[in-house]
Amino acid sequence: MGQFAGYADRAAIEAESTWEERDVARTMHRFLTSVAERHGARRAITFQLQSGPTDKAETLTWAQYHRQCTQAANLFRDLGIGPDDVVAYVLPNCLEAAVTLLGGTIAGIANPINPLLDTEQIAAILRQTGAKVLVTLKAFPKTDVAQKTAAALKLAPNVKTVLEVDLNRYLTPPKSWIVPFIRPRNPVSHSAQVLDFMTELAKRRDTLSFDDPETDRVAAFFHTGGTTGMPKVAQHKVSGMVYNGWLGHQLLFTEKDNVICPLPLFHVFACHVILMAMISSGAHVVFPTPQGYRGEGVFDNFWKLVERWKISFVITVPTAISALMQRPVNADVSSIKQAFSGSSPLPVELYKRFEKATGVAVCEGYGLTEATCLVSINPIDGVKKIGSVGIPFPYCEVKILKRLPGGMQECEVDTVGEICVASPGVFAGSTYTETDKNHDLFHDDIYLRTGDLGRIDSDGYIWITGRAKDLIIRGGHNIDPAEIEEALAGHEAVAFVGAIGQPDAHSGELPCAYVELVTGSDCTVETLMQYARDHVHERAAMPKYIEIVDELPKTAVGKVFKPDLRKRAIARVYDAALTEAGVAARIVEVVEDKKRGLVAKVTRDKDTEDAKVAEVLGNFTNGWDWAA
């Protein structure tokens, strides 16, 4: 078929047949069986617990991975998991996470959960999905995943069985001898039975013990990454997951490729874009450390790991590229063909720095959890437009729509509106598990309203300009935070920027920016303010406040987590208003209320009148309550 050169390849692919007519696997087990039959002896997945270029690594071939996933599916069925039942996992990256994902989708519905979420969020997802089985860590040094998950289980009595994964098996003596003596105790008790994952796996046969009918069904629940608040749970069908894998094989990977993916196996990027593409193509993927890019020494050893595994594709996100550019390229990286970046737009200057340092071009793409993932990509061998997310994949249709008095209407070329997507990965009408969350989510019952703002240029390339919910509304004037972020990101001392609207009694919101500097920089707020005055072209968008922070809060895949910035801004502005008014009260925290949004919690001196606090804080749109 050839790699994706542009519209010619896309048109040629679509001309062959519709997606429904494609000869692709219709069940997850048959999808996996196909790669085991074609490439059984080849390497499939490699995992390193530690990041050193000579540290112990464990690799599964495609035949071994197929066998373990089949055993896992049989295990889950024995534990009561049917096609409509849920196997959740709260795990860092490890081979067991990859096995659980596929085994769960074969037996029932897999539900990966971010181990960085707090106890209440984990419990809420477990209750919402009705999970019966949970796979998680056995207590292990330097991580609280086991303790946090145990506490969540007390709030989710629907979970009947817990399967524990012990990371100690990845260590070598003497470290592996020491762990049993320093392993933290788990003080939280719950009612679920607890079993050892690998022990139970070994008891199961390596052929399916149940029927595997060719009916498309929901096989995974993925919670949203959350730059806009509490996670929602999206439903993914087998067809959507296979579609993502098929795209990777057709357009990117072959069985000869080695791919490094330090992204988490609870996110669609690693699970659907990469792992499913490995299954489709037979390529080999390397997962370094349980925390991926966040793991100890990963950035320092990254280029040496590339050399060790002869990596041809680097999977990354802008935050990781920024960190890598603060380290020397200290190894042979000539094997790299391409770096693939997603999760958020890549600043142009960062793109140039990476290409200059490595000699490798970065290919930007676009996807989202609600669409199973993939939407568009800059062509590998075709024209790349830096800053765009490329053109839609085959069988994917993208429209830019704007709500007008007459209803939703399609925008003209280069006109910004909401990005709406129809593809085999979009579960039309039923994206989220909670029915009320699907209200007004689709246009014409087909096109998923992504909530992302963007435009399509005359060549068909998509440009993301921001989030509809991220708009800063200053006295009725809509400000796209991307304008502020892109301007400040051009400063050589700036690593990342998060622009938001801070509360204002007069205008409702005023633009402000939080900045993370490159390591070692001594840049000041005054310097950045002057730079913003010179480079933010829209007068209304000029930030009224800039703060330099040690590190911006980010999601696991590198997006700036703006709810935390909004909380910080609300507390700062409210405290300043109370102080200026001479009211002896302060904000102790800002919390998210499902109905009211972000709410400030206030404490006061005993002599402070309620009315005084209400008079000051009543000038702002965000609500407040007394702290408990």
**CATH code for the domain in which residue 482 is found:** 3.30.300.30
- Co-location of 579 and 545 in the same domain: no
Name the range with the highest mean pLDDT among 398-407, 428-437, 560-569.
Answer: 560-569
Q: Residues 391, 293, 97, 233: what is their CA dihedral angle, to the nearest 10 degrees?
A: -50
Pairing of strands 447-456, 462-467: antiparallel
**What's 277-302 look like in SS3?**
HHHHHCCEEEEECCCHHHCCCHHHHH
Domain check: are 49 and 139 in the same one?
yes
Same domain, 483 and 451: no
Tell me the three state secondary structure of residue 164: strand
Residue 425, in any domain of the structure: yes
Q: What percent of the chain has pLDDT over 90?
A: 70
Tell me: do 255 and 202 sit in the same domain: yes
Residue 478 has pLDDT above 80, yes or no: no
Query: CB of 306 within 8 A of CB of 335?
Result: yes
Q: What is the pLDDT of residues 73-126, one digit of tens each?
A: 999 999 999 999 999 999 999 999 999 999 999 999 999 999 988 898 899 999
Last residue of a domain, one of 532, 555, 578: 555
Q: What is the pTM of this model?
A: 0.82
In tens, the pLDDT along 240-268 reads: 999 999 999 998 899 999 999 999 999 99
CB 601 within 8 A of CB 627: yes
Residues 407 and 509 grouped into a single domain: no
Burial 331-363 (b: 16+ CB within 10 A, else e): eebeebebbbbbbbbbbebbbebbeebbebbbb
Single-letter amino acid, residue 562: K
Are 535 and 578 within one domain? no
440 and 548 assigned to the same domain = no
| Residue-by-residue DSSP string for 39-72 | HTTSEEEEEESS--TTS-EEEEEHHHHHHHHHHH
Q: Single out the residue in 507, 533, 555 at which a domain terminates.
A: 555
Q: What is the pLDDT of residue 3?
A: 56
2 assigned to some structural domain: no
Q: What is the average pLDDT across 440-457?
A: 91
* pLDDT (average), residues 13-30: 92
User: CA torsion angle for 233, 237, 238, 243 (degrees, to 10)?
Assistant: -100
Q: Which domain holds residue 503?
A: 471-555
Per-residue pLDDT at 506: 74
Task: Verify that 379 and 514 share a domain, yes or no.
Answer: no
Query: Residue 214: its pLDDT value, please?
Result: 93
Q: How many structural domains compose the chain?
A: 3
The predicted pLDDT at position 229 comes to 46
Residue 563 lies in a domain: no
In this structure, is residue 466 part of a structural domain? no
Whether residue 549 is found in the same domain as residue 608: no
